[in-house]
Amino acid sequence: MFVDPTTLRARFAARLSDLYGTEVPAYTTLLTVSGEVNRRVLARDGADAERLGSIERVTAERHGAIRVGSPRELAQVARIFGALGMRPTGFYDLRDAYPRPIPVISTAFRPIDRDELAANPFRVFTSMLVPEDRRFFSADLEERLRRFIDERTLFAPEVLELADRAEAGGGLESADADRFLTLATESFALSREPVDRAWYDELERVSAVAADIGGVARTHINHLTPRVLDIDDLYVSMQARGVEMIDAIQGPPGWEGPDVLLRQTSFRALAEPRVYRETDGSLVEGTMRVRFGEVEARGIALTPAGRDIYDRAMEDQARWSEYWPATERELHDRGLAFFTYRVADEPPAGLPPEAATGVDLVAGGWLVAEPIVYEDFLPRSAAGIFASNLTGTGSTDAGQGGADRDLAWLAERIGRTINVPEELYAAQSLASLRAARERLRQVAR
Ligand code: OOG
Ligand code: NI
């Protein structure tokens, strides 16, 4: 039996979820509570609950987060996720992000086609250290960091070779698929190898994230995030079970109108046992606090015009509702969010004018607009999520020395196109408008 990328992705997501559940038991509680919340919303809101994704999709939906040290490592990650039909999408620079600078740049690997997202929406937020950024690292520390990272092996040659075969051939035979999934999942398990205490501590004084990336010989899944339909309910329900949540829900505030973009919250990092190698060579049992439990709720994808409003409204959250229209329909008509189109159940007789826009066609009753769910991340929330779960403040020179990094630079370094989220949403919207117009013509005939 041949296993296609969609099936590989679904199986990988399930295996990673099982692994993370054994490593972080509170994650299993989070899944239980998420399931309860989603069932409550479905019972309360009926079909409306599924407006931004079927309950099957939302229940299976996860995003993971991983962190790597160099373009070489990121390119390897891209090969593994490439085998699973996940494409690098979006560029996030967290180095000068509010509320605290984090020495990484990031992208997210995810399916980009609507059908693929519907079949299995698994995505992984992937961050890469920027050791050449002088605001964080001295030239000497950069040099030692690079050497450490260049000498380690995150992924065995076999898993990369299988990944390449899967990507080139559009899948793998059963036995190879199993082997690939086993090796790929293992690559993201928490390592039991001893951690060099002095090296780890030196990096942690600069940044806890730098220590998590460059202070250990392996990478690991940092968190695995389920999606809920009501994050306010989830937050309260987790607290009621005695799980200490971070202070706030990141992203837009909850309100009566349509949810936009992404809201996230998490519970605090858990201390996990690790073995340290002390300077005298002795091995000592200790703990490390780098992983946490996160949960998210997704809203409508915003156009650049909507995103401008979002940025302003986030600075003035007490007056949030004054910035936004109260209905999805107005978001559509004012061009603030992305929508797809379908022909109305009973469109008016005759053809609309050739020049009619999407707004005209919806207003005239020919087409119905359906919201496109936001499939990406928010740098400000990401920085907030990083920061709210770190201990220690690290040290940064606010001044000069930040290396220029952008999407084009990163794409070049990993040798792959990095998709721009807003371009994907716009293309999807336009394609569906064209198809709906064509169907209108057929109906009129
Ligand atoms: C990634 C933090 C960002 C999100 O959901 O915004 C993130 C990390 O902690 O490695 O996962
Ligand atoms: Ni996350």
**What is the chain's pLDDT, residue by residue, as a tens digit (445 residues)?**
999 999 999 999 999 999 999 988 889 999 999 999 999 999 999 999 999 999 999 999 999 999 999 999 999 999 999 999 999 999 999 997 767 789 999 999 999 999 999 999 999 999 999 999 999 999 999 999 999 999 999 999 999 999 999 999 999 999 999 999 999 999 999 998 999 999 999 999 999 999 999 999 999 999 999 999 999 999 999 999 988 888 889 999 999 999 999 999 998 777 888 999 999 999 999 998 888 889 999 999 999 999 999 999 999 999 999 999 999 999 999 999 999 999 999 999 888 998 999 999 999 999 999 999 999 999 877 777 777 766 655 666 656 677 889 999 999 999 999 999 999 999 999 999 999 999 999 887 6
Q: Closest Cα partner for 167 from 73, 87, 108?
A: 87
Read off φ and ψ for residue 290, nearest 5 degrees.
-125, -15
Q: Is the CB of 89 under 6 A from ligand 1?
A: no
Strand order in the sheet with 195-196: 195-196, 262-277, 283-298
**364: CB partners within 8 A, 6+ apart:** 348, 352, 356
Q: Note the helical H segments in 84-173.
A: 114-119, 139-151, 157-169
Q: For residue 390, how far is its CA from the centre of ligand 1 (angstroms)?
A: 12
Q: For residue 384, how far is its CA from the centre of ligand 1 (angstroms)?
A: 9
Q: What are residue 173's DSSP bridge partners?
A: 2
Read off φ and ψ for residue 194, nearest 5 degrees.
-60, 145
The domain segmentation of the chain, as residue ranges, is 2-301+372-414
Q: Is the CB of 292 under 6 A from ligand 1?
A: no
Q: How many CA atoms lie within 13 A of 114 on its CB side?
A: 16
- Residue of the nearest CA to atom 7 in ligand 1? 382
For 2-301+372-414, CATH gives 3.10.180.80
Which tokens belong to 200?
Answer: 């780890």
Q: Closest Cα partner for 130 from 93, 183, 176?
A: 93
Q: Is the CB of 92 under 6 A from ligand 1?
A: no
How far apart are alpha carbons 190 and 181 in whole angstroms? Answer: 16
Predicted complex ipTM: 0.99
Q: Is the CB of 377 under 6 A from ligand 1?
A: yes
pTM assigned to the model: 0.96
CA geometry: angle 142, 159, 104, nearest 5 deg: 30
Q: For residue 66, how far is its CA from the centre of ligand 2 (angstroms)?
A: 9
* Residue found under tokens 């039991």: 192
- Residue of the nearest CA to atom 8 in ligand 1? 65
Q: For residue 67, how far is its CA from the centre of ligand 1 (angstroms)?
A: 9
> Which among 94, 261, 386, 389 is the best mutation to test ligand 1's pocket, defined by most ligand atoms within 8 Å of the CB?
386
Sign of CA dihedral 50, 52, 56, 58: negative
How far apart are alpha carbons 244 and 238 in whole angstroms? Answer: 8
Residue pLDDT, tens place only, 255-273: 999 999 999 999 877 788 8
**382: CB partners within 8 A, 6+ apart:** 92, 94, 97, 106, 125
